[in-house]
Amino acid sequence: MSVSLEELLQTLLSAERAGVQVASASLRECRDPDLRPLLEQILAGEGESCRRLLTCMQHLGLEPNRQTGEFYARAMAIADLHERLAFIDHGQRWVIRKLQEALPDCANPMVRTELATVLRIHEQNSAAAPA
């Protein structure tokens, strides 16, 4: 693995925190009833991913960072909600790639199981995104 497991978990945790904040802020702005279920699904998935990453870190005895990824500012700079959702999906696919790269080398069974679940959450959210 090119990055350490700790570095991966910290990076993903920061990204997931940003995802929670973007989805939450976007839900508050959303006036389109057709988009609300997708934003709610993304918010739930990002929150679940944060919890699973924190569980991994606790299991490994790692201290989680308190950072929020730069994704938040970049996403919120996009005023049009449809365009922002496309950017959010780009972030979902980034997490998918990171996890697909890391999972084969993850030797810890508990962490591998949790990361595989985080991967499934992001695959489901990306699949639900508008084309």
Tens digit of each residue's pLDDT (9 = 90 or more) over 89-113 = 999 999 999 999 999 999 999 999 9
A 10 A CB-CB count for 45 gives 23
**What distances in angstroms separate CA 15 from CA 108, 109, 111, 124, 131, one per listed residue?**
22, 23, 18, 17, 23
What is the tens place of the pLDDT at every residue in 39-88? 999 999 999 999 999 999 999 999 999 999 889 999 999 999 999 999 99
Report the alpha-carbon distance of residue 50 to residue 15 in Å, rounded: 9
For residue 124, the Cα-to-chain-centroid distance in whole angstroms is: 12
Q: Which CATH class is domain 5-128?
A: mainly alpha
Would you list the domain boundaries of the chain?
5-128
Residue 61, by phi and psi: left (phi above 0), alpha (psi -120 to 50) or beta?
left
**Residue 9 backbone phi and psi in degrees, to 5:** -60, -40
Asked if residue 25 lies in contact with residue 77, where contact means CB atoms within 8 angstroms, the answer is: no
Listed in sequence order, the residues at least 6 apart from 37 whose beta carbon sits closer than 8 Å to its beta carbon are none
